[in-house]
């Protein structure tokens, strides 16, 4: 009898203990946010630890600058993560640091300051020589980083809102003193992740990695009015080993614009964009391209691999833009799997893109456009299959298009292809291409190449990280 009682008491005790442990564990899970990243961090803080107030009115510029400046002390000690909780966090520009993660809760919104005087002016990019809006300097980006390594900007689809209307007005009224800011610019940096965020209403370009390498951009939504000026989605610019995946973009300019510097400045800087993967992009941009290469391509663009691209109402699918004076090259471009609806031109190449940095460009600097491969394309409601214009005396060569079925719109142009100063081959393409792209016969339908080797960015290990809310 006694032994039985002891057993019962013991067992009840064990059950109780288990229950308590369970509750404790559950609570811990509820207060922990998990995310995927190239590096996890040893130290954590919240913007509220630095006096941040998420009421949509109070400026948090000082809080962000102090927080990151303080957390930069942990660069060599496991790194740090800065958490932005639910709220509307008005802020001016701030700079990132190395071995650092900025993490936005799903209900966190960074609101860009509307005081133009609060935006510092920095020098034009050396590979451009000039700002894009005005000849002089440029307003620093909302989130800026230079000469960094190992930086993560991520969230659970939290929002970065550029409140761009003010800037678009200033641009249209020609009142800007300097080139408009971007939402995020990372320069001269290595090992960068920008993921699971929404970017709204950027003053100009949204995401601009430049002179950088080993970059993962994933799970990004970019939204801006389709009439807003120059609101490019993502602009990899003189970057190596970059991956852009699972991205949804509605904007007023090219969804992805691959660049590498402008005319004589880009030629002398000489830094190409190469080893670029673009996968699972959805784009809506009625006046621009889903993917543009150029027009600033003077440092060269090579080895671009685009796959599973959906465009719903764009001006063109893939567009190569260049001109006399650009120099540089666009070569070894591979596009496989495009599903396209409603556009003027599926394929567009322009060799007469005018805009120059200044009048000092070299008229003998002719771009080389070579080895452009497109395959497995279906398109509907298209005005013209292609408009391909090379440069007289400098033809665009090695164009390969295979397995492309292009459904023309009711009000399509009479001639579906126009081709000048270009050369290449086709197979299994409808409607029938121009004579400078002769058909190689139906058995060659798989002929346009797409690389099967991995780029190093696909081998980067992604870790499970967490942030425990205080
Ligand atoms: C983004 O979020 C998705 C699902 O919410 C998750 O599977 C993925 O790992 C995240 N990616 C990154 C790089 O944060
Ligand atoms: C951010 O970095 C840029 C470029 O190095 C610099 O001009 C600017 O003053 C920095 N801003 C702050 C707030 O430190
Ligand atoms: C940043 O890196 C670039 C390229 O390596 C270098 O020219 C520049 O001096 C560096 N700037 C700083 C502030 O270290
Ligand atoms: C992220 O938020 C945007 C804007 O609210 C929304 O359109 C998009 O579907 C969201 N993405 C995910 C993966 O939840
Ligand atoms: C042709 O492209 C379609 C997608 O548009 C794809 O499903 C099909 O497998 C491709 N055919 C060949 C022979 O590659
Ligand atoms: C086809 O494209 C035209 C513009 O060229 C557009 O007005 C129309 O709505 C599109 N039709 C469909 C079914 O998407």
pLDDT in tens, 269-278: 999 999 999 9
Does residue 401 contact residue 432 with C-beta atoms inside 8 Å?
Answer: no
Q: Which residues line ligand 6 (CB under 6 A)?
A: 342, 381, 383, 409
Q: What is the pLDDT of residues 102-155, one digit of tens each?
A: 999 999 999 999 999 899 999 999 999 999 999 889 999 999 999 999 999 999
For the chain, the average pLDDT equals: 94
Using alpha carbons, select from 133, 142, 140, 135 the residue that is nearest to residue 179. Answer: 133
Q: Assess whether the C-beta atom of 445 lies below 6 angstroms from ligand 5.
A: yes
* Structure-token pair, residue 129: 């020589």
Question: How far from 91 is each of 58, 61, 287, CA to CA, in Å?
Answer: 8, 5, 31
| Alpha-carbon gap, residue 192 to 185, rounded angstroms | 11
| Alpha-carbon gap, residue 253 to 243, rounded angstroms | 20
What CATH code is carried by the domain that includes residue 398? 2.160.20.10
Q: What percent of the chain clears pLDDT 70, i.e. is strictly above it?
A: 94
CA of 37 to the centre of ligand 3 (A): 26
Q: Indicate whether 71 pLDDT > 60.
A: yes
Q: What is the dihedral of CA 272, 274, 280, 284, to 10 degrees?
A: 20
Q: Which residues contact 414 (CB under 8 A, 6 or more apart)?
A: none
Longest C-alpha distance within the chain, in Å? 105
CA of 154 to the centre of ligand 5 (A): 35
Q: What is the pLDDT of residues 339-387, one digit of tens each?
A: 999 999 999 999 999 899 999 999 999 999 999 999 999 999 999 999 9
Q: Assess whether the C-beta atom of 72 lies below 6 angstroms from ligand 2.
A: no
Domains held by the chain: number: 1
Residue 349 DSSP SS3 = strand
Catalytic residue among 150, 161, 253, 263: 253
Q: What is the pTM of this model?
A: 0.94
125: number of CA atoms within 13 Å, CB side? 33
Q: Assess whether the C-beta atom of 114 lies below 6 angstroms from ligand 3.
A: no
pLDDT value at residue 7? 45
| Alpha-carbon gap, residue 405 to 416, rounded angstroms | 12
Using alpha carbons, select from 257, 336, 364, 250 the residue that is nearest to residue 301. Answer: 257
Nearest atom (ligand 1) to Cα of 219: 1
Ramachandran area for residue 49 (φ above 0: left; ψ -120 to 50: alpha; else beta)? alpha
Q: Which ligand places an atom closest to the C-alpha of 443?
A: 5
Q: What percent of the chain clears pLDDT 90, i.e. is strictly above it?
A: 91
Q: Is 263 a catalytic residue?
A: no
Domain that holds residue 457: 2-468
| Alpha-carbon gap, residue 116 to 12, rounded angstroms | 67
pLDDT value at residue 469? 84
Q: What is the pLDDT of residues 197-221, one digit of tens each?
A: 999 999 999 999 999 999 999 999 9
pLDDT value at residue 10? 44
Band (pLDDT 50/70/90 cuts) for residue 31 is confident
């Amino acid at each position: 009898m006694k032994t039985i009682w002891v057993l019962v008491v013991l067992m009840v005790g064990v059950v109780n203990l288990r229950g308590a442990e369970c509750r404790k564990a559950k609570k811990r899970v509820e207060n922990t946010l998990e995310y995927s990243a190239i590096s996890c961090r040893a130290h954590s803080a919240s913007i509220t630890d630095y006096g941040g107030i998420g009421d949509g009115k109070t400026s948090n510029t000082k809080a962000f600058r102090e927080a990151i400046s303080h957390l930069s002390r942990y660069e060599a000690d496991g790194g740090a993560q800065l958490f932005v909780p639910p709220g509307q966090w008005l802020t001016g520009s701030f700079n990132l640091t190395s071995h650092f993660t900025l993490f936005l809760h799903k209900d966190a919104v960074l609101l860009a300051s509307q005081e133009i005087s609060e935006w510092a002016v920095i020098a034009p990019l050396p590979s451009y020589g000039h700002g894009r809006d005005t000849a002089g300097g440029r307003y620093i980006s909302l989130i800026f980083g230079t000469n960094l390594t190992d930086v993560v900007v991520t969230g659970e689809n939290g929002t970065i809102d550029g409140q761009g209307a003010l800037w678009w007005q200033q641009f249209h009224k020609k009142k800007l003193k300097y080139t408009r800011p971007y939402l995020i610019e990372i320069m001269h940096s290595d090992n960068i992740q920008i993921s699971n965020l929404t970017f709204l209403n950027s003053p100009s370009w949204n995401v601009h990695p430049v002179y950088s390498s080993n970059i993962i951009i994933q799970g990004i939504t970019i939204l801006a009015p389709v009439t807003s000026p120059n609101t490019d989605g993502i602009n990899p610019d003189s970057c190596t080993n970059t991956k852009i995946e699972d991205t949804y973009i509605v904007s007023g300019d090219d969804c992805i614009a691959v660049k590498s510097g402008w005319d004589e400045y880009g030629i002398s800087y000489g830094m190409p964009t190469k080893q670029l993967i673009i996968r699972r992009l959805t784009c809506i941009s009625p006046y621009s391209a889903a993917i543009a290469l150029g027009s600033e391509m003077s440092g060269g663009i090579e080895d671009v691999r685009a796959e599973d691209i959906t465009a719903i109402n764009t001006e063109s699918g893939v567009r190569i833009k260049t001109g006399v004076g650009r120099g540089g090259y666009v070569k070894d471009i591979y596009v496989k799997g495009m599903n396209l609806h409603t556009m003027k031109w599926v394929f567009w190449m322009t060799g007469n893109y005018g805009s120059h940095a200044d009048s000092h460009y070299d008229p003998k600097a002719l771009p080389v456009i070579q080895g452009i491969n497109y395959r497995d394309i279906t398109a509907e409601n298209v005005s013209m299959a292609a408009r391909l214009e090379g440069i007289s005396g400098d033809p665009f060569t090695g164009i390969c298009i295979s397995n492309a079925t292009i459904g023309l719109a009711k009000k399509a142009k009479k001639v579906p292809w126009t081709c000048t100063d270009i050369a290449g081959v086709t197979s299994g393409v409808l409607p029938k291409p121009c004579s400078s792209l002769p058909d190689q016969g139906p058995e060659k339908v798989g002929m346009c190449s797409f690389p099967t080797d991995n780029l190093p960015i696909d081998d980067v290990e992604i870790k499970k990280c967490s942030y425990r809310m205080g």
